[in-house]
Structure 1
Amino acid sequence: MSTVITSVNQLNFKLSELESMPAPEKVLLVKPTYFSVEYVINPHMEGNIGDVDKLAAQNEWEHLRAAYEELGLYVHVIEGQRGYPDMVFCANQSLPNITKDGKKEVIMSVMNSDQRKGEVPTIQKVYEDSSYEIVHLDGNRFSSFEGMGDAIWHFKKRLLWGGYGYRSSKEVYDVISETFNTPVIALELIDERFYHLDTCLCILDSDTALIYPKAFTDEGLELIHTLFTNVIEASKYEAEKLFACNATCPDGKNVFIQQGCVDVNHKLKESGFKVHEFSTYQFLKSGGSVFCMKMLLW
């Protein structure tokens, strides 16, 4: 089903009617060897140039790597590249997919910032080595699309949630929907501090989402509340300062989240999730946390 939906009155399906998808069993991580804040391309970077403790960042990353291994995921690690300090945020350079018959394909990103465009070929090599069919967007037609920073799969369902307004264009979702034969719920982002969808929406399982509501329009919120039976809301402090919504829940049960999100963590536990807290303070200086720092693959 190829369609892009921007309002509830355009919905012509129920979640139960959509094709099921397997949960990814592999996670890609990029070593933070060259991670630092060297420029400002989002509000969170301001005042943090040269302020990264690289040893602390390495330790934070290692704890996350170990947690994915303990969860039973196959962890594929690649080296970062000199000159690309944000490459550790490997959710941004691509959008992978698996079809009903097991075919793997990936749409490569068109990075919004010149500083990050060179990251894409290195990530593409991972897909080439893993037998993915590579799809490139027309760079003359689309100036920006930042992968799973803005396009997030519904848990175990053939449905994409697509953010637009800062790092990805709305029009790109027509092509993505057609390429993957997948409906897309397009959500406009309206707060520059939440410049990617993964900073304000975390899909926990097929029924539950964690959101920062003020990052969305009324139409977007209506769509979220229509398709999720349980919507957990993060406070401004925990969403903006601790990136609470940049958590990840690879298996629909275990939530990896920045430490200190007291209110959100309480709500997660009340909803039956197991919470695992991690320090990502060094990466917060660059505007990313747990979700940004990985790519789940099939």
Structure 2
Amino acid sequence: MTITASRTAHRRRYLMCRPDHFTVRYSINPWMVPSRPTDTGRAVRQWQALYDAYVALGHEVELIDQVPDLPDMVYTANGGFVIGGRAYVPSFRYAERRPESAFFARWFAEHGFEVVEPAEVNEGEGDFLLVGDTILAGTGFRSTGDSHREVGEVFDREVLSLTLTDPRFYHLDTALTVLDPVEGPDAVEHATIAYLPSAFDATSRGILQERYPDAIRVADLDGDAFGLNAASDGLHVFVSPRATGFAAQLAERGYRPVPVDLSELLLGGGGIKCCTLELRG
């Protein structure tokens, strides 16, 4: 059954990082092939198109400078998880990304956020997504299950743990999208997420089915196009132009797909949401 609804755009505040030093020189996910050429200029142009799309629709975008030796800093979603002005910073699984944590922590502190240092391995909003007042937390490849307990304690929120099983979808934000990013009693109770069922184990699929029965279930073809690595303001959904089936599903539900091509940045295993960290004041 198709569910249509009146959608409202909510002004968002994001943190992004211009990929001035983007390249792929190591492999920590299946998308990264160091022998495959990358085009930094093209990556910057595609990133700029996403930045411009956010600004054109009224969203505020803050910037953190990319450190030359840290090409993956462009994927700012992994730089922390922020609610109520408190920033829970990452502790990356792979050594190649661990130096990023100090730069994100410094940025948060300099911009008035309360910084919470982690004890557990976590990769920020890559594996933690806020739906209403509930944190959906991913594990299986990067963030550990202990970080789910820790993030719940830091923010005093309910946490639902979800296990990823396909290494191509190594972070939660590659397999699940929050479509209505509103907290508190005004949060939409139904159809708040879209997800790729085949990326999760059976237990996690059961949790998602029970909690979000009206969620959009996305086909493998659109998942393979990194379609779930999307960002939404509640009306506009910034999505890969290759995820045409997902875009049609969104339109049927009253959302407005905004296609943005980040194919060059996908060579590093990241897309729209990976380049976008929500700053919740």
TM-score over 0.5 (shorter chain): yes
Shift in Å, 1:239:
0.8
For each residue in 1:203-230, what CA deviation from the matched residue of structure 2 results, as whole angstroms up to 9, or x when unmatched?
A: 1123222111011122211221222242
- The equivalent residue for 2:124 is 147
Residue 262 of structure 2 is aligned to residue 285 of structure 1: no
Residue 55 of structure 2 is aligned to residue 69 of structure 1: yes
CA–CA distance in structure 2, aligned partners of residues 198 and 106 of structure 1: 18
* Amino acid in the other structure paired with 1:291: K
CA–CA distance in structure 2, aligned partners of residues 24 and 171 of structure 1: 33
- The equivalent residue for 2:228 is 245
For each residue in 1:48-93, what CA deviation from the matched residue of structure 2 results, as whole angstroms up to 9, or x when unmatched?
A: 5451111111110111111111121111122210110110000002
CA–CA distance in structure 1, aligned partners of residues 118 and 72 of structure 2: 22
- The equivalent residue for 1:198 is 173
CA–CA distance in structure 1, aligned partners of residues 22 and 125 of structure 2: 20
1:235 to 219, 222, 233: 219
Aligned-residue sequence identity (percent) comes to 27
CA–CA distance in structure 2, aligned partners of residues 199 and 25 of structure 1: 20
What is the root-mean-square deviation in Å for CA atoms of aligned residues?
1.4
Q: Does the CA contact (< 8 Å) of 1:39 and 1:49 recur in 2?
A: no
CA–CA distance in structure 1, aligned partners of residues 203 and 64 of structure 2: 40
Matches within 5 A, 1:168-207: 168-205=143-180, 206=188, 207=190
For each residue in 1:23-72, what CA deviation from the matched residue of structure 2 results, as whole angstroms up to 9, or x when unmatched?
A: 673111101001111100001113x5451111111110111111111121
CA–CA distance in structure 2, aligned partners of residues 186 and 29 of structure 1: 27
Structure 1 pair 265–25 and aligned structure 2 pair: CA distance change class (3 A): closer
- The equivalent residue for 1:93 is 79
In structure 1, the gaps of 5 or more residues are 1-22, 99-103
* Amino acid in the other structure paired with 1:30: C
2:100 to 119, 122, 125: 119
Shift in Å, 1:234:
2.1
CA–CA distance in structure 1, aligned partners of residues 150 and 243 of structure 2: 37
- The equivalent residue for 1:276 is 258
* Amino acid in the other structure paired with 1:286: G
- The equivalent residue for 1:264 is 246
**Runs of 4+ that moved beyond 4 A:** none
Shift in Å, 1:233:
2.1
Q: Does the CA contact (< 8 Å) of 2:236 and 2:258 recur in 1?
A: yes
CA–CA distance in structure 2, aligned partners of residues 180 and 49 of structure 1: 42
* Amino acid in the other structure paired with 1:36: T
Q: Does the CA contact (< 8 Å) of 2:221 and 2:243 recur in 1?
A: no
Give the alignment's TM-score, normalised by structure 1: 0.85
In structure 2, the gaps of 5 or more residues are 1-9, 181-187
Give the alignment's TM-score, normalised by structure 2: 0.90
Q: Does the CA contact (< 8 Å) of 1:36 and 1:50 recur in 2?
A: no
- The equivalent residue for 2:199 is 215
How many residues are treated as equivalent by the alignment?
A: 262
* Amino acid in the other structure paired with 1:149: G
